[in-house]
Amino acid sequence: MSRATVLACLVSSSVLALTVAAASPAQAAGVDYVALGDSYSSGVGAPGQSGICLRSNHSYAAQWAARNSPTSFQFLACGGAVTDDVVKTQVPAMNSGADLVSITIGGNDAGFAPTVLTCLTSSDATCTAKVNQGRAYVANTLPGKLDATYAAIRAKAPGARVVVLSYPNIFDTSSVLCEMSTTKRKALNGGAQALDDMIKSRATAAGFVYADVRDNFAGHGVCSSRPYLNGLTIIPPQNSYHPNVNGYTSGYLPALTGAA
């Protein structure tokens, strides 16, 4: 598969679909759990992805359900989702009696995939300019999008504990050898920081629990010796710059467990 094909897959949009997965017996009996969000919640980057939403049982959501056996588990997260998809498709499919809801959202709204594509194929200056464009969106437009999304979740499941998880910094910046320059890696990590700061602000304002995964991923970015994220991936191409199994198990799962 060509590099162009891999990069094209990074910017492809997705259609949302609904699946409901059962959990095994364990300690969260009586809890109805719903996993919302985008590819970082559906499990893109891990093995076993299926369906048009690319859901994997190695995602942090599916792993939490398998370990804790909630009464019900709705796995609604979908690769490629933006805030409007959550509001229009995922929230309406939610169980109104949900006790626990988890979500990652906002990265695609801010142009994650096109920004990575630009940084892969362009100069340091062009990459930085593209990241700054995304940061402007995060500062000026995304807050309203997040507020509307969080309000829709609260309206559908008024009694739920809602855990909003952050995104990790994707790149290790200490390694000399990497698929992107240090300037590009620092710019992208700075953009992720700005995104996470805004998500934290709006989640807190909504009365939700914010779970930061960045400390768990520290030292495990792309180009580190033990990465928790995939770099540019040929097969399957959508795995590029998404958590691997270690990222979901050691990065995301502890954050949800600690916040749930």
Enzyme catalytic residues: 39, 242
Instruction: Specify the residue for token string 């699946």.
Output: 19
Tokens of 98: 């949900």
Alpha helices by DSSP H, 69-181: 83-85, 91-93, 112-121, 124-140, 142-156
H or E segment at 35?
strand 32-37
187, two tokens: 């710019």
Which long-range contacts does 225-230 make (Cβ < 8 Å, 24+ apart)? 227/172, 228/168, 229/45, 229/168, 229/170, 230/45
Q: Which backbone phi and psi does 35 adopt, to 5 degrees?
A: -105, 115
Q: Can you read off the two tokens belonging to residue 30? A: 């009586």
d(CA 93, CA 78): 13
Helix (H) or strand (E) holding 171: none
Six-digit token string for 234: 């040929």
